[in-house]
Amino acid sequence: MKLSFDEICDAWDNPESASIIEVRQALKGAIEMIKQLEKENQFGYLFQSVGQWSKETFPNAQPIHHLRKLKQEADEAIADPTDIYEYCDILIPLFAAANKAGFTAEMLLNCSFKKLEILKGRTWEEQPDGTHQHKNISNLNEK
């Protein structure tokens, strides 16, 4: 059973009126919330750090320039998909482009979760090259 933030606070603040199980659930819920916040903060910190570094290092670059670099880095990752640094080389220009386009880490993260739910609702077909394409496009403007 997942508790709401208010339920966690109530059990934490009033342990004498809560059962041991409720207090344990509250503690577990608080720990889960802290872990989630740490992940979000790390994501946001990396996003901001990349954005700041990018603005200082490439002051004239526009989102399209970072996205072109992303394409180059994706080709390198395709050439060596076992090198984790190649994946990082994709993530960094993505963050730089999104930051330069005016998006925040929170916007990128929230939109990614929404988009994932859309993708989960689609039917996928394997292509001859091993990639997958969704086959039911109900609305071409769907983001």
pLDDT, tens digit, 9 for 90 and up, residues 19-50 = 666 666 666 777 777 777 677 788 888 999 99
90: tokens are 């994709």
- When computed from its CA atoms, the radius of gyration of the chain, rounded to whole angstroms, is 21
Whether 124 shows a pLDDT value over 90: the answer reads yes
User: b/e for 66-89, b at 16 or more Cβ within 10 A?
Assistant: bbebbeebbeebeeeeeeeebeeb
Among the listed residues 119, 86, 77, 112, the one whose alpha carbon sits nearest the alpha carbon of residue 98? 112
Instruction: Give pLDDT, residue 100.
Output: 96
Which conformational region is residue 28 in: left (phi greater than 0), alpha (psi within -120 to 50 degrees), or beta?
A: alpha
Instruction: Give pLDDT, residue 32.
Output: 78
Q: Quick count: other Cβ atoms within 10 Å of Cβ 143?
A: 7
Angle at 118 between CA 130 and CA 50, to 5 degrees: 80
Beta bridge partner(s), residue 133? 125
Which conformational region is residue 30 in: left (phi greater than 0), alpha (psi within -120 to 50 degrees), or beta?
A: alpha
Instruction: Give pLDDT, residue 33.
Output: 73
Give the Cα separation of 58 and 54 in Å (integer).
5
Tens of pLDDT, residue by residue over 65-121, are 999 999 999 999 999 999 999 999 999 999 999 999 999 998 998 999 999 999 999
Instruction: Give pLDDT, residue 49.
Output: 92
